[in-house]
């Protein structure tokens, strides 16, 4: 074998790929009505959020759940919930 036979041969493979991404902003308002008349909102946490995205026809449908904890004062700021 000559030295040219022992050389490493390289091949270049060119492929085409179709990639895409989408972005859409959405907003929903969910109203929480406490059992007491609130004086001040002290804070809120949104936890345990999950979502799922599925292709439905030519669109993407996103659905999910979350839990919300709200702290507020009532009775002229003398009691907390």
Of 60 and 50, the one with more pLDDT: 50
User: What pLDDT sits at residue 79?
Assistant: 67
pTM summary value:
0.51
Q: Percent of the chain at pLDDT above 70?
A: 89
Q: Which residue shows structure tokens 């308002």?
A: 29
Q: What pLDDT, on a 0 to 100 scale, did the predictor assign at position 67?
A: 92
What span, in angstroms and rounded, lies between the C-alpha atoms of 81 and 74? 8
Average pLDDT over residues 57-72: 89
Boundaries of every domain in the chain? 29-81
**Cα–Cα dist 26/21, whole Å:** 16
User: pLDDT tens, 1-37?
Assistant: 555 566 777 778 888 777 777 777 888 888 888 888 8
The pLDDT value recorded for residue 2 is: 57
Q: What gap in Å lies between CA 26 and CA 41, rounded to an integer?
A: 25
């Amino acid at each position: 074998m000559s030295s040219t036979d022992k050389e490493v041969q390289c091949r270049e493979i060119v492929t085409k790929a179709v990639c895409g991404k989408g972005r859409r902003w959405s907003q929903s308002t969910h109203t929480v009505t406490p059992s007491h008349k609130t004086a001040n909102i002290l804070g809120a946490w949104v936890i345990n959020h999950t979502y799922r995205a599925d292709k439905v026809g030519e669109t993407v449908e996103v659905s999910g759940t979350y839990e919300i904890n709200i702290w507020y004062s009532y009775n002229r700021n003398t009691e907390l919930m």
